[in-house]
Amino acid sequence: MKVVRILARYIVGIVFIVSGFLKGVDPVGTSLKVKEYFHAFLNLDPGHWALWIGIALCAVEFLTGVCILKVIKFRFFSGLALLMCIFFAGVTFYSAYTGKVSDCGCFGDVIHLDPWPSFYKNLVLLALTIFLYSQRHRARPIASNFWEWAFLFGYAAFIVGVSLYSMRNLPPADLSDFKPGRDLFKGDSTSMVKYKTEILYSKDGVTKKFSLNHLPDTSWKYVETISTVIEGSERIAHKMPFLLKDSAGEDVTESVLRTEGPVIFISFYDADGITDDDLGKLKNLGDSLKYGSRQSEVYVLSAMTPEQTMASLKPISDAIEKEDISDVFSASHSDLNLPFKIVYGDFKTIVTFNRSNGGATYVNQGLIVHKWSAAKYNNKRILSAISKNPTALMTGTEEHSRLFLIISLAIIVGMVLIVRFISKALYKTVKHTVEVIEEIGEDESS
b/e string for 117-146 if b means 16 or more Cβ within 10 A? ebbebbeebbebbbbbbebeeebebbbeee
One domain for residues 162 and 80:
yes
b/e string for 20-32 if b means 16 or more Cβ within 10 A? bbbbbbbbbbbbb
Above 70 in pLDDT, residue 150?
A: yes
pLDDT in tens, 63-115: 999 899 888 899 999 999 999 999 999 988 988 888 777 777 788 777 777 88
Tell which residue, 295, 299, 243, has the closest CA to residue 266: 299
- Structural element, H or E, at residue 220: none
* Nearest-angstrom CA–CA distance, 176 and 242: 13
Residue 371 maps to a domain: yes
pLDDT over 90 percentage in the chain: 22
Residue 131 maps to a domain: yes
Instruction: State the chain's mean pLDDT as an integer.
Output: 80
pLDDT in tens, 275-306: 888 888 888 888 888 766 677 889 999 988 88
Q: Give the CB-side neighbour count of residue 43, counting CA atoms within 13 A.
A: 3
The total number of structural domains in the chain stands at 2
Crossing angle of the two packed helices 27-37 and 145-168, in degrees rounded to 10? 90
- What per-residue confidence (pLDDT) applies to 237? 46
Label residue 196 by pLDDT band (50, 70, 90).
low
Q: CB-based contacts of 377: which residues, under 8 Å, 6+ apart?
A: 281, 285, 359, 360
One domain for residues 148 and 262:
no
Residue 381 lies in domain = 242-388
* Nearest-angstrom CA–CA distance, 378 and 368: 18
pLDDT in tens, 320-363: 777 643 343 333 334 456 888 999 988 888 998 999 999 999 99
Residue 220 maps to a domain: no
pLDDT in tens, 164-195: 999 888 888 887 888 888 888 865 444 445 55
Above 60 in pLDDT, residue 436?
A: no
pLDDT in tens, 403-415: 887 887 777 777 6
One domain for residues 148 and 249:
no
Tell which residue, 249, 197, 193, has the closest CA to residue 226: 197
Q: What CATH number is attached to the domain comprising 349?
A: 3.40.30.10
- What per-residue confidence (pLDDT) applies to 235? 47
- What per-residue confidence (pLDDT) applies to 428? 64
